[in-house]
């Protein structure tokens, strides 16, 4: 989105920057950081890779498939580099952090590898590469504990929603997960800095922030402040004028009653929680080092729904974790049937370097994992569709984010529950919260119509719809 807006600014003489992001919202946030840092050096984002003078590929290594995507993207860039020798190709993100020099050695058309902990230095490093014509890999762990404490993220005009990283890294060491190895130990940003960033975003027109961290519930440790995640949320609610707050990701073991209560008590907190469960068998959860049982998880879901009935719940599940029997798998299916998630992200387990699970000997074969995933996804697809269909007839508050992707003149936004809705409205409604009556459901979006022009719109005297 930001790229499209800015690409109009590219002129014959300016330098084009093409950014491709794989992976989670942490990486999207870092890509925005790269855009900002390189914009200060005259680089203009472009949508068309052919116009690029620099390509920045932000990589993910969380699952084998994500890493394969990195290798195939880099492979495809070889011919571009041959036809355009001055092009500089940079790989950043978690694969870069993990492989460093090895990635540079593997792809001889790659000019620079920059780890997640060094991304702040991208400007200087790129200049060094430009001037010397050489190649370099940098994965240095900066003294300040990472790159997220360097001040404020300022967004270009026009963004209605924005991510705000509140913490980096993770200390949980789930047995399957590479994140603690590539993102390092948990580090929280000072609360004052986060609040100031949100106020600046608000002043530039942002209405909704997404607070990011691998385990936001443990926010605050090590900041030297007596501040918890709940304190932070409540302060954002009272000390800024931001209309909507979301956060991700929550770890079930750290989801406290106080945090759940925020969903019932804070108007600005969106009614959606992503709470990865990973498996429905206590034995597998223990092997995964998740620190909760199925019944403890379900009890938390029950409490959430009791205090906030309109909350939407989504989750992550891994099938084929080492040692997962058919019986364990059926327990996961049973859990899905019982909880009825609004949406689910599900994956086949894949070995990741350095993780404890990679050393487990009782691996599930690929075919069995694939069959289980297929079965599980079919089962969940019906639940997800049922949830979408049930939205028909309801009236939802929708934050208008911009034109619909279908480019059919409609506008698009999301409900508090994080469902996409498309509807007819003037483009001037962007950034407003409208009451939308949901007419019907597609597979992953809803169609609606403006139910009533809300107070906010009337106050701004927008043209009638
Ligand atoms: N911090 C978040 C998400 C981490 S990665 C959390 O704690 O849940 C996102 C998802 O990728 C995980 O929830 C998990 O379902 C999946 N995942 C992580 N490592 C994996 C692996 N080795 N194989 C398959 N799926 C994996
Ligand atoms: Fe990975 Fe577990 Fe940390 Fe999530 S909580 S990032 S799954 S180690
Ligand atoms: Fe991937 Fe790194 Fe995020 S491994 S999921 S991009 S933290």
Query: Model confidence over 37-69: pLDDT tens digits?
Result: 999 899 999 999 999 999 999 999 999 999 999
Pocket of ligand 2 (CB under 6 A): 170, 172-174, 177, 179-180, 214-215, 251
pLDDT at 147 (0 to 100): 42
Distances, alpha carbon 293 to alpha carbons 320, 335, 412, in Å: 18, 12, 39
pLDDT at 451 (0 to 100): 87
Pocket of ligand 3 (CB under 6 A): 23-24, 26-27, 60-62, 93-94, 178-179, 182-183
Give bridge partners of residue 89 from the DSSP assignment. 55
The residue contributing the CA closest to ligand 1 atom 13 is 316
- pLDDT band, very low/low/confident/very high, at 408 (cuts 50, 70, 90): confident
Residue 276 Cβ inside 6 Å of ligand 1? The answer reads yes
Ligand 1 center from residue 40 Cα (angstroms):
35
- pLDDT band, very low/low/confident/very high, at 303 (cuts 50, 70, 90): very high
What is the tens place of the pLDDT at every residue in 304-331? 999 999 999 999 999 999 999 999 999 9
pLDDT at 443 (0 to 100): 78
* DSSP letter assigned to residue 309: T
pLDDT at 286 > cutoff 70: yes
- pLDDT band, very low/low/confident/very high, at 412 (cuts 50, 70, 90): very high
pLDDT at 148 > cutoff 70: no
pLDDT at 465 > cutoff 50: no
pLDDT at 407 > cutoff 70: yes
**Residue 452: which residues within 8 A CB-CB, separation 6 or more?**
435
List the single range of 142-151, 187-196, 336-345 with lowest mean pLDDT.
142-151
Residue 350 Cβ inside 6 Å of ligand 1? The answer reads yes
Ligand 1 center from residue 177 Cα (angstroms):
6
Query: Long-range contacts of range 222-225, CB-CB < 8 Å, 24 or more positions apart?
Result: 222/186, 222/187, 222/188, 223/188, 223/189, 223/190, 223/191, 225/190, 225/191
- pLDDT band, very low/low/confident/very high, at 158 (cuts 50, 70, 90): confident
pLDDT at 405 (0 to 100): 87
- pLDDT band, very low/low/confident/very high, at 155 (cuts 50, 70, 90): low
pLDDT at 27 (0 to 100): 93
- pLDDT band, very low/low/confident/very high, at 72 (cuts 50, 70, 90): very high
- pLDDT band, very low/low/confident/very high, at 464 (cuts 50, 70, 90): very low
Mutate to test the pocket of ligand 3, among 22, 25, 26, 148 (most ligand atoms within 8 A of CB): 26
- pLDDT band, very low/low/confident/very high, at 463 (cuts 50, 70, 90): very low
**pTM of the entire predicted model:** 0.90
Ligand nearest to the CA of 345: 1
- Ligand 2 atom, smallest distance to 173 CA: 8
- pLDDT band, very low/low/confident/very high, at 5 (cuts 50, 70, 90): very low
* Burial (CB count within 10 angstroms: exposed 0-12, middle 13-18, buried 19+), residue 356: middle
Ligand 3 center from residue 423 Cα (angstroms):
33
Residue scoring higher pLDDT (77 or 442): 77
- pLDDT band, very low/low/confident/very high, at 120 (cuts 50, 70, 90): confident
Cβ–Cβ < 8 Å for 151, 109: no
Q: Mean pLDDT score of the chain, rounded to an integer? A: 90
Q: How many C-beta atoms surround the C-beta of residue 211 within 10 A?
A: 21
- pLDDT band, very low/low/confident/very high, at 212 (cuts 50, 70, 90): very high
- pLDDT band, very low/low/confident/very high, at 444 (cuts 50, 70, 90): confident
Percent of the residues in the chain that have a pLDDT greater than 90, as a whole number: 80
pLDDT at 356 > cutoff 60: yes
pLDDT at 101 (0 to 100): 94
Ligand 1 center from residue 315 Cα (angstroms):
10
What is the three-class DSSP state of 141? coil
The Cα 120–Cα 114 span in angstroms is: 10
- Ligand 1 atom, smallest distance to 348 CA: 24
Q: Which has the closest alpha carbon to 56: 4, 9, 123? A: 123
Q: How far apart are the first and last CA of the chain?
A: 25
Cβ–Cβ < 8 Å for 135, 100: no
- What's the whole-number mean pLDDT along residues 135-150? 62
- pLDDT band, very low/low/confident/very high, at 83 (cuts 50, 70, 90): very high
Ligand nearest to the CA of 183: 3
Mutate to test the pocket of ligand 2, among 24, 174, 178 (most ligand atoms within 8 A of CB): 174
pLDDT at 7 (0 to 100): 47
């Amino acid at each position: 989105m930001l790229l499209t807006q800015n690409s109009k600014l590219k002129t014959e003489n300016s330098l084009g920057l093409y950014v491709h992001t794989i992976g989670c919202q942490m990486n999207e946030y870092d890509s925005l950081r790269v855009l900002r840092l390189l914009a200060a050096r005259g680089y203009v984002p472009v949508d068309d890779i052919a116009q690029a003078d620099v390509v920045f590929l932000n990589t993910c290594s969380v699952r084998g498939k994500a890493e394969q995507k990195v290798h195939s993207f880099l492979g495809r860039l070889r011919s571009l580099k041959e036809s355009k020798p001055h092009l500089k190709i940079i790989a950043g993100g978690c694969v870069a952090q993990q492989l460093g020099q090895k990635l540079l050695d593997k792809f001889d058309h790659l000019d620079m590898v920059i780890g997640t902990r060094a991304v702040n230095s991208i400007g200087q490093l790129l200049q060094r590469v430009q001037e010397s014509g050489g190649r370099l890999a940098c994965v240095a762990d900066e003294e300040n504990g990472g790159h997220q404490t360097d001040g404020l993220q300022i967004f270009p005009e026009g963004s209605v929603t924005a991510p705000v990283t509140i913490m980096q890294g993770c200390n949980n060491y789930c047995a399957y997960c590479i994140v603690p190895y590539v993102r390092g130990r948990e580090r929280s940003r000072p609360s004052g800095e986060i609040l100031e960033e949100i106020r600046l975003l608000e002043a530039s027109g942002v209405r909704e922030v997404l607070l990011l961290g691998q385990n936001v519930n443990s926010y605050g440790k090590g900041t030297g402040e007596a501040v918890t995640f709940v304190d932070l949320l409540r302060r954002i609610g009272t000390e800024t004028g931001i209309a909507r707050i979301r956060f991700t990701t929550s770890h079930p073991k750290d989801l406290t009653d106080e945090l759940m209560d925020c969903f019932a008590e804070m108007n600005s907190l969106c009614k959606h929680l992503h709470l990865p469960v990973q498996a429905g068998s206590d034995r597998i959860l223990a092997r995964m080092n998740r620190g909760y049982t199925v019944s403890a998880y379900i009890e938390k879901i029950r409490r959430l729904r009791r205090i906030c009935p309109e909350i939407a719940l989504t989750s992550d599940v891994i099938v084929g974790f080492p040692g997962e029997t058919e019986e364990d798998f059926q327990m996961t299916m049973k859990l899905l049937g019982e909880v009825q998630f609004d949406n689910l992200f599900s994956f086949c387990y894949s070995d990741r370097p350095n993780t404890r699970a990679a050393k487990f000997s009782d691996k599930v074969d690929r075919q069995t994992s694939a069959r289980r995933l297929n079965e599980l996804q079919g089962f969940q697809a019906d639940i997800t569709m049922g949830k979408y269909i049930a939205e028909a007839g309801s009236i939802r508050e929708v934050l208008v984010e911009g034109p619909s992707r279908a480019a059919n003149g409609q506008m698009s936004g999301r409900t508090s529950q994080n469902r996409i809705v498309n509807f007819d409205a003037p483009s001037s409604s962007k950034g407003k919260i409208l009451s939308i009556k949901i007419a019907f459901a597609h597979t992953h979006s809803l169609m609606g119509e403006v139910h009533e022009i809300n107070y906010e719109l009337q106050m701004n005297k927008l043209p009638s719809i």
